Amino acid sequence: MKEISELHFPENLRYSTDHEWARPDKDLFVVGISDYAQDRLGDIVYVDLPATGSKIKKGADFGSVESVKAVSELFMPIGGEVVAVNTQLGDTPELVNSEPYGNGWMIKVKPGDPGEYQQLMDQKSYLDTLKG
């Protein structure tokens, strides 16, 4: 595991208390897990994602991520309809470790209420919670 200072947290997205991130992409939001989350989970071996078309509320679980340590649930940072899932993670779940904000993205959500994005933490508040 790395020190917080060794981890990367982009400023152009927002973070949930459960360590998911969301990034606006036109009228959608791309969702994944933070560098902190992937580092604490360790090597990820399986990612279970919902079917496209699923409508899931903010805070409800949308899938799970399995590392050699444990299985952890994934929670929606923004409620809405899942319009795309990252099928690449089926064969290469390690992308979540290597590129958590890039090719390791998990789902794209069409938000029920785009205002929920503003309720998430910005990079600075998220870093403050991690440093405790």
Partner 1 sequence: MIGTTGLIFNEPLLWELGAPGREAFSQPAREVPEQPVDPDLTGPGPDFPDLSELEIVRHYTRLSQWNLSVDSVMYPLGSCTMKYNPKTNERQASLPGIASAHPLLPEAMSQGLLRLIFDLEQWLAEITGLAAVSLQPAAGAQGELTGMLIFHAHHASLGRPRTKILIPDTAHGTNPASAALCGFTAVPVRSGPQGILEPQAVADLMDEETAGIMLTNPNTLGLFEANIRQVAEIVHAKGGLVYADGANMNAVLGVVDMSAMGVDVLHLNLHKTFSTPHGGGGPGAGPVCVTAKLAPYLPVPRVVQAGERLAWRSDFPLSVGRLHAFYGNFGILVRAYSYILSLGADLAQVSRLAVLNANYIQAGLKQDYHLPHDRPCMHECVFTDQRQLAHKVSALDIAKRLIDYGFHPPTIYFPLVVSGALMIEPTESETKETLDHFIAAMRAIAREAEQNPELLHQAPHHAKLRRLDEVKAARKPCLMG
Contact residues: partner 1, CB under 8 A: 1, 40, 43, 45-46, 66, 68-70, 72, 93-94
Q: What is the closest distance, in whole angstroms, from the C-beta atom of residue 94 to partner 1 in the complex?
A: 7
Residue 40 or residue 110: which is nearer to partner 1 going by CB?
40
Residue 71 or residue 113: which is nearer to partner 1 going by CB?
71
Residue 8 or residue 60: which is nearer to partner 1 going by CB?
60
Q: What is the closest distance, in whole angstroms, from the C-beta atom of residue 1 to partner 1 in the complex?
A: 6
Residue 94 or residue 122: which is nearer to partner 1 going by CB?
94
Q: What is the closest distance, in whole angstroms, from the C-beta atom of residue 126 to partner 1 in the complex?
A: 18
Question: How far lies 104's CA from each of 9, 34, 116, in Å?
Answer: 14, 10, 23
| Measured torsion, CA atoms of residues 107, 121, 111, 103, in degrees rounded to the nearest 10 | -20
DSSP state of 26: T
Give me the helices (H) in the chain, please: 35-41, 95-98, 116-119, 123-131
> Alpha-carbon torsion 23, 51, 68, 129, what sign?
positive
Q: What is the closest distance, in whole angstroms, from the C-beta atom of residue 24 to partner 1 in the complex?
A: 30
